[in-house]
A = this chain, B = another copy of it.
């Protein structure tokens, strides 16, 4: 499976393609940081991010797009810009019919370091090690995009198993209810009408 991981942002947007191999092996296909000028207007910055993502989707043909989910940040203005950038990334994927998965920063950190509270340096160290890179990806946004890709590859099978278990449970519940309803109907048929 090939994942396009995006750490959305307007000033710096981390973007990476990671391939999953057998077991837990992962491979870095490409990584970069898209930058847009802070003094440009918001709409043209979003357009630059959207164009870059579409170019990567076209060039690398991923199977899925993983985006970092932003809940809140110290700076509300920055958080809104980040959310908007994430929105145009998800839109680009949806336009191509690709599934989009959102992972929280703590899920990403936990996936690559084992701790949801790991710092940026730990994430960068583990990403470098897991992907067998010669040097640490810089800036942190690039490492985050790679971590997101790895997180998705490792979480996806777990998610699929979970979804399968939920579907099975729902099917059992449905059958149980159907049997109950059938028993109720039979009982009513046998009973006396007042």
Contact = CB atoms under 8 A, between A and B. Distances in A.
A80 to B, nearest CB: 5
Given A41-B100, A71-B77, A46 B84 contact: no
Q: Which label, helix, strand, loop or mixed, suits the secondary structure of the A interface?
A: helix
A178 B88 CA distance: 44
Contacts of A71: 76-77, 80
Interface in A54-84: 70-72, 76-77, 79-80, 83-84
A50 interface: yes
A29 interface: no
B100 A90 contact: no
Interface stretch (A19-27, A91-99, A162-170): A91-99
A43 B83 contact: no
